[in-house]
Amino acid sequence: MKNQTVTTRTILSITAAFMLVSFFAPPVSADDSTTVQQLINALSARKFIQRETATLELIDRGTSIIPLLEKNIPQQNYEGITRSIHVLVQLSLQVKTAQFGSGNGAKQALDVLAQSTDNRIARRAATALTRLNKIREEEALAEFRKLGGWIERVYTRIGPNSKYVIRMYLNTSWRGTEEDLYLLTWITTAQELLIEGIDLSGNWMPIIGKMRNLESLVLKRCKLQDQLFSEVRHLKQLTNLDLRYCPITDTGLQHITSMTQLLYVKLYGTLGTKAVAESIRQGAQADVDYRQGAFLGVGCRQPPGPCYIESVQDGTAADKGGLLVGDIVTGFDDRKVESFLDLRKIISDYAAGDKSVVHILRLGTPHTSKINKVDQAELQVSFAEHTGGVLVTDIKTTCPLYIAGLRKGHIVGNMNLAEIHTPKELLDQYKLAEKGPVQMVYYMMSKKLEISVEFGEWE
């Protein structure tokens, strides 16, 4: 009886053990004959262990299961949908970030599912994509910097305004391959892409065309192919396009004439013509700044008024030629300059390396005097217009201005703290001054000079 009891207990223990093994063992494994379809069906199973085992097994089987998994999602319950999308996310993360945009079906499947008419599926897929994109962007940023790229926050012009943006910057120190270019599409927080000195043939422009959030594209001294440049048309958020010294012709530039979202286009030193610049202006309704590419290196006072040089950049054509702050540009070669607008227009017709002669008026040292205000009839002085202000043509020795130091041939540039350009403006400012000392700034001499310059390039 005792032996029978032991035998019975042994049989029960073995049976229980087999039941436990059957319960906890995965319904399928890589070595058995279980089909992918059975694994996918198990994602909606009632038992947790079956759902969990199927999830892990599908992830292990890799991207080959994606088409069937995607096809079966509409038939899954809520748990099955969630697990199916989890599998796609994990398969996406197994792929190197740089390859993620080109051949990974998991991400593409999630993109499709996010557009599903079934809200259960679309909502979960969209949430998964947001999470996945954040992970991928962090990975892409780290890899991008490792390969020689820069990410910086800069204050720059976007369209008609200037603002702070996140800029991606690439130059000849970039060590990435064409495969690594897909990193660009994952850094979605970047609003501006600046590339300098790189050959953009091959897969560059097709990848740039996938940067859907890009607002500004700046290409400097990059080799561009007209046909590949057509990819820029896919940048629907692009408002600012800046091309400098890139050998792109009218054929390539024609691709942007229909980009009506563009607000500002800068074409410096390209192979395009004024005609295509006008086509862009008319077609895209954009503000187009077209120039042959010459750079002088001066900052001048805005109109109205003469073209006063207010700054000269070190090492530029202006600096090397000898232009100085305070000089007034009056001409370029045989063309007259009356304002900074004239100067900009004239320079736009020159290319880098061209030589020109700048005609300037150089005033002497400014002198400041104060005079006691009297009736205008007592001034006993005559004036004429002058590029540097107002020229004294005649003055009596009893005139308060004479007593203050003003002489015939002197040039008055400022009266009562206001810049003046005509005799009327001088007298009006004198009249507006309160009784007492009135401040005056004048120059005792001026020289007309011709300065030879050789234009450089814009940076």
- Say if 147-291 and 366-443 have the same CATH topology: no
Instruction: Tell me which architecture the domain covering 298-363+449-454 has in CATH.
Output: Roll (2.30)
- The identity of residue 257, as a single letter, is T
Beta bridge partners of 285: none
Contact 408, 399 (CB under 8 A): no
* pLDDT tens, position by position, 322-349: 999 999 999 999 999 999 999 999 999 9
Name the token pair of 263: 């607000």
User: How much of the chain, in percent, has pLDDT values that exceed 90?
Assistant: 71
Span 218-232, average pLDDT: 95
pLDDT at 375 over 90: no
Instruction: Tell me what the mean pLDDT of segment 68-95 comes to.
Output: 92
Q: Coil, helix or strand for 196?
A: strand
For the segment 431-452, the average pLDDT, to the nearest whole number, is: 90
Q: Average of pLDDT values for 373-388?
A: 85
Instruction: State the pLDDT at residue 104.
Output: 67
Task: Read off the pLDDT of each residue in 21-39 and give the average, rounded to a whole number.
Answer: 56
pTM of the model: 0.71
| pLDDT tens for each residue of 99-117 | 444 456 888 899 999 999 9
pLDDT in tens, 170-184: 999 999 998 899 899
Q: What is the CA radius of gyration of the chain?
A: 37
Contacts of 200 (CB under 8 A, 6+ apart): 208, 219, 222, 223, 224, 225, 228
CATH of the domain spanning 147-291:
3.80.10.10
Two tokens at 239? 């408002």
Quickly state the pLDDT bin for 34 (edges 50, 70, 90): low
Quick one: tokens of 97?
Answer: 């970030």
Per-residue model confidence (pLDDT) at position 351: 95
What pLDDT score was predicted for residue 96?
61
What secondary structure letter does DSSP report for 258? T
How far apart are the C-alpha atoms of 456 and 357, rounded to whole Å? 14
304-325 residue pLDDT tens: 889 999 999 999 999 999 999 9
Q: How many CB atoms lie within 10 A of CB 215?
A: 20
pLDDT at residue 222 is higher than 70: yes
| Average confidence (pLDDT) over 407-431 | 92
Is the peptide bond prior to 304 cis by the omega test (within 30 degrees of 0)?
Answer: yes
- Asked if pLDDT for residue 218 goes beyond 70, the answer is yes
Residue 32: the pLDDT is: 41
Q: What are the φ/ψ torsions at residue 142 (nearest 5 degrees)?
A: -65, -45
Question: Which of the following CATH numbers is that of domain 366-443: 2.30.42.10, 3.40.50.1820, 3.40.50.300, 1.20.1260.10?
Answer: 2.30.42.10
pLDDT at 14 over 70: no
Are 213 and 187 in contact by the 8 Å Cβ rule? The answer is: no
What is the band of 94 on the pLDDT scale with cuts at 50, 70, 90?
Answer: confident
What integer is the mean pLDDT of 265-272? 96
What pLDDT sits at residue 444?
92
Which whole number is the average pLDDT over 223-236? 94
Residue 316 is predicted with a pLDDT of 96
- When pLDDT is cut at 50, 70 and 90, the band that residue 374 belongs to is confident
pLDDT at 21 over 80: no
CB 287 within 8 A of CB 160: yes
Question: Which among 58, 150, 153, 175 is positioned nearest to 109, based on CA atoms?
Answer: 58
CB 374 within 8 A of CB 443: no
Average pLDDT score over residue span 212-221? 94
- Beta bridge partners, 44, equal none
Spell out the domain ranges in the chain: 22-136, 147-291, 298-363+449-454, 366-443
Mean residue pLDDT of the chain comes to 88
The interaxial angle of helices 105-113 and 119-146, nearest 10 deg, is 140
